[in-house]
Amino acid sequence: MQEELEHPFSAIVIRERLPDQQRGNALAWIELLSPSTKGETRSAAMYLANRQMPLRRGLVFVALDFLHETPPTFTRLVDYSRRQRSADAHPYRILVLDWRPRRCR
């Protein structure tokens, strides 16, 4: 069931290029976070649930978070908005999750 949202979620999907112009497999998922995707709202909860899809599919996941007055959506990150004193607290974040195995050389 898809619910009607005030601000629908969107993302950029990077796909592999195929020689016959067919739509290739998704390789990466890129999101620019908005105020509606953060916080304790119903839209934010739905966003977090939907964010699991690219992670479960093993896609490279990129989240651009320029909302420095709100906590990060990944709870392991230090919360700059609470003025926590830490070298790891940053106002803006670019998160890249790449689940692909690394080749050993």
The pLDDT tens digits for 34-84 are 888 888 888 888 888 888 888 888 889 999 988 888 888 887 888 888 876
- CA dist 55 to 33, 42, 93, 100, Å? 16, 21, 18, 11
Average pLDDT value for residue range 83-93: 79
Torsion angle, CA of 43/31/39/73, rounded to 10 degrees? 130
Q: What's the pLDDT score for residue 81?
A: 82
Average pLDDT value for residue range 81-95: 80
